[in-house]
Chain A
Amino acid sequence: MHEHPVRLVIGGDLRRYRPTVFFRLLLAIPHFIWISLWSIGMVFVVVVNWFVTLLSGTPSKTMHGWTSAYVRYTLHLNAYVYLVGNPYPGFMGEEGEYPIDLRLPERASQSRSKTFFRIFLAVPALMLASALGGGFAAGYTSRNGRSKFAGLSGRGALATTCAFFGWFACMAKGEMPKGLRDASAYSIGYGAQTLAYLLLVTDRYPDSDPTAMLDGVDRPPEHPVRVVGDADDLRLSRVTVFFRLPLAIPHIVWLVLWSVATLVAVVVNWFVMLFRGTPAESLHRFVSRYVRYQLHVSAFLYLVANPFPGFDGAPGRYPLDLELPQPMRQNRWKTFFRFFLAIPALVVGSALSYGLIVTAFLTWFVGLARGEAPWGFRNFAAYALRYAAQTNAYLYLLTEVYPHASPLEGAPTPQHEFVEAAAA
């Protein structure tokens, strides 16, 4: 697959200056005012540019430059607000002035048909971008029949959630957690690609593949809970896609029944671990199967994988499978407070689930039409499922390693480095 012409460049480090973090939203107010004015101007520019592109097949050079600067500026601002970047951004959206930057394509000819229908074609990408975040909307709302200025509003569950928890982490440690930074960067990167597509900077559709988006970013340490499978298997059976939700209902019923037993097992295991420091092996196995089964059912339901899963959560049977750690000694304090410690991960997971639902909804149509899942959507959904599985494994005491929010796969590292990284 060709590289996307709109490329996210992530520079800088994870250190954050606490005073600017604390006042981040207030400090961004001038930018909010500026972007709202710029957005109003851009409406006219884009409409004119749309006609120009339709007539000549190529956007106007001047207007392409303005639009590119606008798209880049929104990325800089989003990076600042969502704590992806540390320095205060400039107001002109110039290339290379901010560590979190965007490489945009030169003016090039574009398909007239794609240009004509651009606003409709962009709808699926806008849906996902809204779920992920990284966009700002300026506009009016109508209340009691009167139009009223609503101001700027940040959108997107994932970026907002990561920024929220990142803010506390930055205040505490002076450093943005890598997982949250990567997730936010991915979100705003996808938002920038969508904006570039919508505003005629490129006619290449946004790519939601996290690996492609964060190309060049360091991979996180390998997590003991890993999703494994054939990455190239995108095939979907049209019949089972059409009936996917009803077909999943028996699994959902079974999952609910199983979760009751799992809840009991986890509580018992919690006591066992508090006393012994290690989980009961049989309970660990039982819960492992449950977590793996959850992944299988979710992969089937959300169209990440094609086959109908088994009901037993057995390893090695499903194309998208879960590797789980063997029972091992865990820190008693972490065990004791496990539920409370898991809350941020659960919130991030629920934010990711919005995107997951959107991609599943869109994949349903694509799957029916083409008989295969779109690469980008599938990979995003796999990321969301991986995070959910890591969160479940953490919550259900299968591991004490915290879920890693980075969309990137963990890189194998020597055990001592891994432990250090996890502890960090």
Chain B
Amino acid sequence: MTRRLPLVALAAAAWAVAALYLWNTSVVPSSLRLPHVDSHRFFTAAQLHAASSYSSVGVWLWVGGTIVQLVVLAVYARRGERFTRDSAAGPMGTGMLLGMIGFALVWLAQVPFTVLELWWERRQHLTHDGYAATVFGGWFGLGGAFVFLCVALAVVMGFARLVGERWWLPAAPIFVGLALLFAFIDPWLVGGHALHDARLRSAATRFERLEGVSRTPIVVESVHQTTTLPNAEAAGMGPSRRVILWDTLVDGRFTERELDVVVAHELGHLARHHIWKDVGWYALFAFPGAWAIARATRTRGGMARPRAVPLGLLVLVVLNLLALPLQNAISGTWRQRPTGWRFARRTIRAARSRSSAVSCRRRSTSRTRRRSTTSCSRTIPRSSSGSGWRRRGAPPSDVRVILEAWKLRQARTADLAPASGGASPPP
């Protein structure tokens, strides 16, 4: 252990330096001053209260779901070994089976929370999804998750059989490589069509030049059949990078300037290399995380043995949970400050003169301006694909309250005049 100490210290120091670098390179330049947003100036107290209560239900559902998940995994870690008798697949195949069953049981235990959440969202008119479609879709969707899980377990168990306890050393870089791969191919998986709005396209071209991310495709993803919520995201890296706008964002409900802000915001993500940095953060967590799993599963003979897989799953989920505050802090930083710096200066300056569209930080009394509040606050980056670390976290607190209020009001008014853009006059 004494001999390893310098090595451990060196690794820790490298980790800290890398984390510091990633953190610092995401910080807003000091020259950029963000205006204070007072949500009470935009919404009534009743709306804000409704938004807050809407949000609190989501929080409780999350807490309940997480507790159930942990309980199920804890029980499974203890008793999951019995499923080895349902396998004729050898050690690795059996490990995959145990991993998949663990995931499946967690999904099953969370079905009530999923249904409750859906009920809550449907009650607020935020989604059109049906209960059966959601539950059965989740059941079928498990298949896709299982493929990734099998690949991951094949890597882990394969290396564990080859190199023993130190499997995490070769396995972690492979996971990082896979994360890079998925971040790269994500935009192609999403699909979508080219943006038809010539004005917005030309504005985007201008912003791209400003941000130094020329020739970034802007595509529109069709989501209107499942949700009314607007959103946009930056995805991909290198040749696959693009900005993806939900078609609910470009359906005429938002002003040109509001859309400009959204596009500039997403281009800001690309200009600041947030997707690369997201993978970087993932890499920073992958090594210690894999090491922790390797240590924790020693009591079960290590990850080379199928019986260690249920415990490994539990450890993985606990680690994810522990890392959540830090992940939220990182994504919060990015979300708060992604808009391209040069464009941001302009828009904020304009906001101060009440003529532009950084509407989540702006006083406004016009219908369209108020709607755009959300378009800005909802432009949360989806910086990577379905490898399990896609983030669509909540905006920072003040913006979050505005968002929730907007969602509620938008949903309530959408039925009245969805085509004409719906939002009621401000109070």
A residues with a Cβ closer than 8 A to B are: 237, 239-240, 242-243, 245-250, 253, 306-312, 317-319
Contacts and interface: CB of A to CB of B under 8 A. Distances in A.
A292 to B, nearest CB: 13
Given A237-B83, A247-B104, A317 B142 contact: no
Given A242-B104, A307-B86, A309-B89, 6 more contacts: A243-B139, A249-B144, A250-B150, A308-B86, A311-B89, A317-B89
B96 interface: yes
Interface of B: 83, 85-90, 92-94, 96-97, 100-101, 104-105, 108, 139-140, 142-144, 146-147, 150
Contacts of B88: 307-310, 317-319
A245 B143 contact: yes
A145 B246 CA distance: 42
How would you classify the secondary structure of chain A's contact residues: helix, strand, loop or mixed?
mixed
How would you classify the secondary structure of chain B's contact residues: helix, strand, loop or mixed?
helix
23 contacts: A239-B101, A239-B104, A242-B104, A242-B108, A243-B101, A243-B139, A243-B142, A245-B143, A246-B104, A246-B139, A246-B143, A246-B146, A250-B146, A253-B147, A307-B88, A308-B86, A308-B88, A308-B89, A309-B88, A309-B89, A309-B93, A311-B92, A312-B90
B90 A317 contact: yes
The interface centre, meaning the residue of A243, A309, A311 with most chain B CB atoms within 10 A of its CB, is A243
Contacts of B146: 246-247, 249-250
A312 B97 CA distance: 15
A243 to B, nearest CB: 4
A308 B93 contact: yes
Contacts of A246: 100, 104, 139-140, 142-143, 146
A307 B89 contact: yes
Contacts of B87: 307-308
Contacts of B86: 237, 239-240, 306-308
A311 to B, nearest CB: 6
A250 B96 CA distance: 10
A243 B147 contact: no
A309 B96 CA distance: 11
A373 to B, nearest CB: 14
A318 B87 CA distance: 9
A289 to B, nearest CB: 14
A250 B101 CA distance: 13
Contacts, number: 75
B350 to A, nearest CB: 51
Q: Which 3 residue pairs across A and B have the least CB separation, nearest first?
A: A249-B143, A307-B88, A246-B142
A179 B142 CA distance: 40
A310 B100 contact: no
A253 B90 CA distance: 19
A319 B105 CA distance: 26
B307 to A, nearest CB: 15
A315 to B, nearest CB: 12
B19 to A, nearest CB: 35
A310 B83 contact: no
Contacts of A307: 85-89
Contacts of B150: 250
A384 to B, nearest CB: 21
B100 A247 contact: yes
B282 to A, nearest CB: 23
A243 B143 CA distance: 9
B362 to A, nearest CB: 47
Nearest to A241: B86
Contacts of A242: 104, 108
Contact of B147 (A237, A245, A249, A311): A249
Contacts of B105: 239
A308 B94 contact: yes
A239 B93 contact: no
Contacts of B85: 307
A124 B205 CA distance: 61
Contacts of A247: 97, 100-101, 104, 146
B188 to A, nearest CB: 18
Contacts of B147: 249-250, 253
Contacts of B90: 310, 312, 317
Contact of B93 (A245, A249, A311): A311
Nearest to A236: B86
The interface centre, meaning the residue of B85, B94, B101 with most chain A CB atoms within 10 A of its CB, is B101
A247 B92 CA distance: 15
Nearest to B89: A310
Contacts of A240: 83, 86, 97, 101
The interface centre, meaning the residue of B83, B88, B96, B146 with most chain A CB atoms within 10 A of its CB, is B88
B164 to A, nearest CB: 23
Nearest to B141: A246
B224 to A, nearest CB: 28
Contacts of B139: 243, 245-246
A246 B141 CA distance: 8
Contacts of A309: 88-89, 93
A205 B108 CA distance: 34
A250 B83 CA distance: 18
Contacts of A243: 100-101, 104, 139, 142
A177 to B, nearest CB: 36
Nearest to A245: B143
Nearest to A321: B88
Contacts of A253: 147
A237 B101 CA distance: 12
A160 B100 CA distance: 41
Nearest to B96: A250
A319 B150 CA distance: 23
A317 B93 CA distance: 12
A231 B140 CA distance: 31
Nearest to A253: B147
B93 A310 contact: yes
Contacts of A237: 83, 86
A282 to B, nearest CB: 23
B33 to A, nearest CB: 51
B247 to A, nearest CB: 30
Nearest to A240: B86
Contact of B140 (A239, A245, A306, A311): A245
Contacts of A308: 86-89, 93-94, 96-97
A310 to B, nearest CB: 4
Contacts of A319: 88
A248 B85 CA distance: 17
A140 to B, nearest CB: 32
Nearest to A249: B143
A239 B76 CA distance: 13
Nearest to A237: B86
Nearest to B154: A311
A94 B142 CA distance: 55
A253 B101 CA distance: 18
Nearest to B149: A250
Nearest to A319: B88
A239 B83 contact: yes
A300 to B, nearest CB: 9
Nearest to B98: A308
Nearest to B97: A308
Nearest to A250: B150
The interface centre, meaning the residue of A246, A307, A312, A318 with most chain B CB atoms within 10 A of its CB, is A246
A310 B150 CA distance: 12
